[in-house]
Structure 1
Amino acid sequence: MDVGHPPGGGGFGAGDHRGVSLLSGWLPVTVQIVVVLLLLAAIGWRTRRWRVLWVPVAAGAGVAGALAVLAWFDDSGLATDPAPTSLWVWIGVTAGSLVVLVAGWRGARWWRRGLSVLVVPLCLLCVALVLNQWVGYFRTISQAWGTITAGPLPGQVSEADLPALRGEPAPTGRVVAVTTPDTASQFPHRQEYVYLPPAWFAGAKPPALPAIMMIGGEFNTAADWVRAGDVLPVIDHYAQTHGGYAPVLVFVDAGGTFNNDTECVDGPRGNAADHLTEDVRPYVTSHFGVPAASQAWGVVGWSMGGTCAADLAVMHPELFDSFVDIAGDPGPNTGTKQQTIQRLYGGDAAAWARFDPMTVLGHHAPYPDTAGWFDDSAPGYGPRGRRGWSGGGETDPQQKEAGIRRLCATATAKGIRCSVHTYQAGHTWQFASKAFADSLPWLDSRIKRLPEKTVATHR
């Protein structure tokens, strides 16, 4: 087992030079300062009863509200990456602003009433800004607008346009929105996408390019590797430096809904595993000329998706030859073991064992050609505990890292070539993008083109 520290300290910048940043810079700070000033104006000096009774009540309500949400958050298993303190502060301020609105309405002047009404949604906006800074979801205003309005992705074309683009040289690849089936899984998934590099359009028919299945975290869509992860510049640059060649990227929906933490298993939350292995993969091989052999397929995941990537490769070496696990867990989980069995498998402990990678490794024959790359943030960096917005589980970073190392060691003993890489970074989409860029050359060296006889017939 090799422990690496990828070179280059850059790549985790919070800002985006293509628009006004929502992660750093003047805008988030300015919004919060303005909201504080408006709230102070809404509170005002007023009467002695107001100052002695209702202002303390509003402050107490704020503290109680923040503690209540914190308790719910810890119990829900929604995330295990410790949230920034400012999140709980703004949740408390929001609760206090509601008391100011209700208790101070009677007898207040019209303009103070108006401010009280305005401040409540503005406080919620500050909560959203802090949440966004925590996970790095929206980098800029323009990217947030494109996501909220479901605008087209950069370079997006329809599948019907592909024949007309063949033979035309292009410096960048194209993104295609695909309608993948759910015949095998009955999994109600959302829109999925495929990235086709410039080399795919060369020649009279699609070449036998390998593919990488790209899986995001829990709270996202299939497009988030493109929008939040900003992966297109990474893969396009790789293609430009390799004569137009790059793997096909398949952006999948492993959740079905924005907050459905499936951990890519089959269970009460949907047959996500069957969808990825029995619906998506055959569809891509038949529609885009990707070889069906496992040597032509890799899987990359971020956060919850990182757990999925390792689990899929361990469970299905006949489908995926290589994997990159970026900030995933040692195995699918949404809390303690018993909570996970109940939440993900409806109380079926045997189903838990079928999807637990350590258990699968323990009963599996040696793997002939599987390899894995684990990426994670170094323990103790900033406010990080574990992965955020991805499901529950153990919260101690050293414990989580130890679990990853145990998994890698067990995999190595079973013949899987495995390495662990650590970064000084927070648990954000910017970290995911950097980790993908660093692992791409290694992964591409593993999934090179195969002979034409291994290619499925293109529709």
Structure 2
Amino acid sequence: MPTWLSSLPIQTDRTLAVVYALAVLALVVLVLPFGVVGRRGPWYAALGGATTLGGGIGLGLVWLLGDVQDLFGVQLSAVVHAAGAALFAGLAIAVVGLVRTRWWRKAVALVAVPVVVLAGGLMINEDFAYYPTLGDVFGDTGVGALVAGGLHAGDTSLSHWRAPAGMPADGTVGTVTIPGTVSHFAARQAWVWLPPAALVKDPPRLPVVVGLSGQPGQPSDLFLAGHLDTALDAIARAHDGVAPILVVPDQLGSPSSNPMCVDSRLGDVATYLTVDVRHWILTHEPVSAARRSWTIAGFSEGGTCAIQLGAGFPAMFGSIVDVSGELAPRNGTVAQTVARGFHGSARAYAEASPLHVLASRRYPATRALFAVGGDDARYAPITRAMAAAARRAGMTVSTSVVPGTAHDWHTASQGLGWGLRQLTARWDLPAR
């Protein structure tokens, strides 16, 4: 794909306006009776019936997949319902335009099909704030294997470190392979962001953030949709080039999988994240091993994992950022979750719940940050309950409600960025 096409933004008002206008124009032409062969009365009746049926099918599919089967694990917004109805209604109009019409009208109908599908897809994408560019849709991110500068840190503390001449102005992003040496978990490539201070000859020992995507998803989501590299670049600019190294491993294995960040027959994900990933970070990046310097953060399923592992491994993680996570690991219904991830043991499932773990320990030295969308009726009560449990367990807790957003990447981007900014003092980053 050419670079100019790959980098085409698909969430901007200009792009959306052009695509929506083309879809509306095509459908208006198809609704007008010009070029219809035969009487117009029956044709109008067929058009009206097909449009109503198509819209109903679209609404029905969104309701069935989203509300009944809960396939996406979120409460789908009115925008998604409207997009589903409009998409199938538009396709129905295009189909009618192919029957008993002139050749040019058939041509318009054929062109309308991809335009209507594109318009509906962009409407849903904009609501979730998922893919920012056309290249991202097809996996053409322009990000390659990580090329770093100095990876062997000296003994210089952050408080005494000074930026050398020639240090890059911004951080760098790349992909790496983190093998499941101990866990044998088959993970996809991880994404890593290195701050300017990590790219010089003798970097200091830096804090580290282990970030986790939602499900379905992949590590790139925290960059392309979550914009965490942008948030960390801003932190680095305010702190003499110093910011945490961000490592986003794959805790899923594939977009459709959900091993739930536990060790089970679905994969030893907990061991992968706490043993394999930690070992790789400590041996490949200039980071501090101190728990105060380690943060685990995530959105949705990744947020659930963040509070699970942050509470379950307090000697490793000193801080937790949970954006719109759940009360407990989930893979289908509770019964399915117990069978798939806990060998049929309801007790093991209950003991893996973050609420159970929080109630059984004290965390006087852990910082926990929780964020949720202001319009997220499903996850807002969960976030409040989890924050309250963390506070009762002795954690220092802060919460944030992102106004006007739901369970989407608008919330993830703002919530994760807010959480990381709250931790700059805890990481002892130098002032510019």
TM-score bracket relative to the smaller structure: 0.7 to 0.9
Pick from 91, 95, 98: which aligns with 2:84? Answer: 91
1:325 partner SS: strand
Q: Letter of the 1:182 partner, please give it.
A: G
Q: Relative to structure 2, which stretch is displaced further, 277-286 or 341-350?
A: 341-350
User: What is the deviation of 1:418?
Assistant: 1.9
Conserved 8 A contact 2:321-2:370: yes
Q: 1:25 aligns with which of 9, 13, 28?
A: 13
Residue 217 of structure 1 and its aligned partner are, at CA, apart by: 1.5
1:385 aligns with 2:373: no
TM-score by length of 1: 0.78
1:226-375 map, 5 Å: 226-267=223-264, 269-334=266-331, 337-342=334-339, 344-345=341-342, 347-362=344-359, 364-375=360-371
Q: Distance in 1 between matches of 2:88 and 2:308?
A: 41
Give the direction of change, closer, same or farther, for the CA distance of 1:219–1:116 in structure 2 (3 Å limit). Answer: same
Letter of the 2:129 partner, please give it.
G
Verify: 1:443 aligned to 2:427, yes or no. no
Q: Pick one of 388, 410, 430 that aligns with 1:409.
A: 388
1:75-97 Cα deviation digits (max 9, x unpaired): 33233544343433332343344
Matched, 1:125 2:125: no
Query: Is 1:41 aligned with 2:29?
Result: yes
Structure 2 residue aligned with 1:423: 402
CA shift, 1:183, in A, is 2.2
> Which residue, out of 195, 198, 222, partners 1:197?
195
Contact 2:264 2:341 in 1 (8 A): yes
Which of the numbers 401, 414, 432 marks the counterpart of 2:412?
A: 432
- On the 8 A contact 2:366/2:395 being kept in 1, the answer is yes
Aligned equivalents of 2:111, 2:349: Cα separation in 1: 48
CA contact (8 A) 1:187 1:275 kept: yes
Shift of 1:157: 6.1
Cα separation, partners in 2 of 1:376 and 1:85, compared to 1, 3 Å: closer
Q: What is the distance in 2 between the residues matched to 1:50 and 1:268?
A: 57
Q: Greater shift after overlay, 294-303 or 434-443?
A: 434-443
Q: Identify the structure with bigger relative contact order (alpha carbons < 8 Å, sequence gap 6+).
A: 1
Q: Deviations over 1:103-137 (max 9, x none)?
A: 55343222222222222222221221111111111
Q: 2:172 aligns with which of 162, 171, 174?
A: 174
SS in 1 for 2:10: coil
**Partner secondary structure for residue 30 of structure 1:** helix
Q: Tell me the distance in 2 between the aligned counterparts of 1:118 and 1:344.
A: 47
Change in 2 beyond 3 A, CA 1:351/1:37: farther
Q: Does the aligned pair in 2 maintain the 1:369–1:416 contact within 8 Å?
A: yes
Structure 2 distance, partners of 1:147, 1:192, is 18
What CA deviation, in whole Å up to 9, does each residue of 1:189-222 have, x standing for no partner? 2221222222223444x43212111112223321
Q: Is the 8 A contact 2:182 2:275 kept in 1?
A: yes
Letter in 2 for 1:373: L
Shift of the 339–245 alpha-carbon distance from structure 1 to 2, 3 Å rule, reads same
Q: Is the 8 A contact 2:319 2:366 kept in 1?
A: yes
| CA–CA distance in structure 2, aligned partners of residues 314 and 416 of structure 1 | 10
**Which residue is 2:53 aligned to?**
60
Give the letter for the 1:42 counterpart.
L
Q: Is the 8 A contact 2:192 2:245 kept in 1?
A: yes
Partners of 1:210 and 1:299 in 2: CA distance = 11
1:8 aligned partner: none
Deviations 1:297-343 (A, max 9, x none): 11111222222211110111122111111222233235653454356
> Once the two structures are aligned, what percentage of the paired residues are identical?
28
Residues 147 and 227 of structure 1 are in contact (CA less than 8 Å); yes or no, is this contact kept in structure 2? Answer: no
Change (3 A) 1:33 1:346: farther
- Name structure 1 gaps, 5 residues minimum: 1-18, 379-383, 387-394, 450-459
Asked if residue 211 in structure 1 is aligned to residue 191 in structure 2, the reply is: no
Alpha carbons of structure 1 residues 115 and 346: separation in structure 2 relative to 1, 3 Å: farther
Match of 1:51 in 2: 44
Runs of 4+ in structure 1 off by over 6 angstroms are: 164-167
Letter in 2 for 1:365: R
1:222-272 deviation per Cα after TM superposition (whole angstroms, max 9, x unaligned): 122222222223212211221221111112222222333444334454433
- The answer to whether the Cα contact below 8 Å between 2:214 and 2:299 also exists between their aligned partners in 1 is yes
Q: Aligned letter for 1:172?
A: D
Quote the offset at 1:285 in angstroms: 0.6
CA shift for structure 1 position 284: 0.5
Tell me if structure 1 keeps the 8 A contact 2:149–2:200.
Answer: no
The 1:425–1:243 alpha-carbon spacing in structure 2 relative to 1, beyond 3 Å, is: same
